[in-house]
Amino acid sequence: MIVVSEYLHVADRAAELGIRLSDEIAVMPDNFANAPTREDFVHGAGAASVRLLLEGNILTRMSHDARHAAQGAEEDWHITLFAPSRLARLSPERLAAALREISDHLGAMAKAFPRRKIALTLIVERGSDCSCKRLTYEGDVSSLGPLLDKALAIAGE
Q: Give me the residue spans of the domains in the chain.
A: 2-155
* pTM across the whole model: 0.79
- pLDDT tier for residue 144 given thresholds of 50, 70 and 90: low
- pLDDT attached to residue 73: 46
Asked if residues 59 and 23 have their Cβ atoms less than 8 Å apart, the reply is: no
- Segment 16-24 mean pLDDT: 86
Between β-strands 25-27 and 59-61, what pairing exists: parallel, antiparallel or unpaired? parallel
Per-residue pLDDT of 28-77, as tens digits, reads 888 999 999 989 998 877 777 777 777 655 554 454 444 544 444 444 67
Per-residue pLDDT of 109-134, as tens digits, reads 667 766 667 778 889 888 888 899 99
Sequence-distant (6+) residues with CB within 8 A of 81 are 25, 26, 27, 28, 50, 98, 120, 121, 122, 123
Q: How many CA atoms lie within 13 A of 155 on its CB side?
A: 23
Max Cα-Cα span within the chain: 42
Q: Which of 3-12, 53-62, 105-114, 145-154 has the lowest mean pLDDT?
A: 53-62
